[in-house]
Amino acid sequence: MPKKRILSGMRPTGKLHIGHYVGALENWVKLQDEFENFHLIADYHVLTTDLNTDNVYQNSIEMLIDWLASGLDPVKSPMFRQSQIKEHTELALIFGMLITVNRLERNPTLKDMIRDLKIDNVIYGHLGYPVLQTADILLYKGNYVPVGEDQVPHIEISREIARRFNNQYRITFPEPEPLLTKFARLRGLDGNAKMSKSLNNTILLSDEPETVKVKMKKAVTDPNKQKKGDPGNPDICLVFSFHKKFNTGEVPEIENGCRSGELGCFDCKMKCAAKISNFLAPIIEKRKYYEKNLDEVRDILFDGETRGRKVAVQTISEVRENMKIG
């Protein structure tokens, strides 16, 4: 029986951080044997937040290097840019006829995006974001999409569009389902619910140990624990949440030390920084290899785009045939 397909993607905004790893990449790496995966560099989606395209190519390469360094295997899964496979835009145009403006305006993710990014003027691209995303998924007949809870409403729109197309023409597409990422999203070093480069609260996958230490010094903790000796509450401490992810073996000891006051925040942060750097070491080593071998990275992209395009062209031919416009 053929493997079920997964479409996963990210917008290329530059080097990735540990939040990307925990929230997505770790899961993608685990899924690459069980499923047939397609990994999308969603470079057209970048236009919804920034019309300046000067850095899009370089950011795409940086992101691809982070994917490879994190363990994604380009032989198992093609990795490609959305802009290089024109069938994405063709399918998005067709799908745009199958959903009402009313439905798109009711999308709660759109409201969150407008609030989080402080968008004053909503453009058609914001409203149509889930339509293009649906084209991204269904062009490869994705059965599953690994997402966080916040993206589930988008997948529901994709299911509605797939159903509408199948009912109107002929059964062509699966109704994709969300594959929820289990570990909660990492908060930013400043305590913000989101780790994000634009908020300057990240630890990058490429950060060397000294940089990790400097960044960790600024991480927020329990505000009531002012000095070593004061009892703290790890349940409300960001650093403790990082220990739970990157230093699982020492969690009980850290919790006891924090609550009793014996462990000071500085020492606790440096322990955490060391563990994060241990975790990052093999990623940084692989990253350096790819940085030195950029031709290999470009070849991987070329190969991914060739393989992705082949599937995309087949799907569009089938769509045109089923719509009798072929």
Q: Do the strands 177-180 and 5-10 form a parallel or antiparallel pair, or are they unpaired?
A: unpaired
Closest distance between ligand SF4 and the C-beta of residue 214, in Å? 16
Residues that bind ligand SF4 (CB under 6 A): 221-222, 225, 232, 234, 237, 239-240, 254, 258, 263, 265, 268-269
By beta-carbon proximity to ligand SF4, the closer residue of 43 and 222 is 222
Closest distance between ligand SF4 and the C-beta of residue 200, in Å? 20
Q: Which of 58, 59, 69 is nearest to 28 (CA)?
A: 69
Closest distance between ligand SF4 and the C-beta of residue 203, in Å? 15
Closest distance between ligand SF4 and the C-beta of residue 190, in Å? 14
Closest distance between ligand SF4 and the C-beta of residue 210, in Å? 20
Closest distance between ligand SF4 and the C-beta of residue 215, in Å? 14
By beta-carbon proximity to ligand SF4, the closer residue of 146 and 232 is 232
By beta-carbon proximity to ligand SF4, the closer residue of 254 and 300 is 254
By beta-carbon proximity to ligand SF4, the closer residue of 11 and 269 is 269
By beta-carbon proximity to ligand SF4, the closer residue of 234 and 304 is 234
By beta-carbon proximity to ligand SF4, the closer residue of 234 and 308 is 234
